[in-house]
Amino acid sequence: MGPVYAGELQCRGLGMRVEAYGDSGKPVIGEKGELVCTAAAPSMPIYFWNDPDEKKYRGAYFDVYPGVWHHGDYIEITERVA
């Protein structure tokens, strides 16, 4: 259990190694960045149908930061949940 702040989640999701990547491609705290997962997570897709060579899947999630799942949204991780 943790405190609740308006407009914020209390913590990162269970089983999710979520980070905010800044312009340098490194994790940032207290500023908006790209939402990424730096490790596999229980709910992330593992493939797309009708994509046998994984070209669409890799292009959708792994082209921006090789080996890091890139969601395509922004996030800010505050000091409260860091």
The type of residue at 38 is T
CATH code: domain of residue 55: 2.30.38
Is 6 inside any structural domain? no
User: Furthest-apart CA pair in the chain: how many Å?
Assistant: 45
Tell whether 3 is covered by a domain: no
Q: Which residue has the tokens 């999630």?
A: 61
- 56 is a domain residue: yes
Alpha helix (H) residue ranges in the chain: 55-61
User: What's the burial of 1, exposed, middle or buried (CB within 10 Å: 0-12/13-18/19+)?
Assistant: exposed
Over the stretch 18-69, which tens digit does the pLDDT of each residue have? 999 999 999 999 999 999 999 998 888 999 999 999 999 999 999 999 899 9
Please tell me the pTM assigned to this model: 0.84
Q: Give domain status of residue 13, yes or no.
A: no
Per the domain annotation, does 7 fall within a domain? no
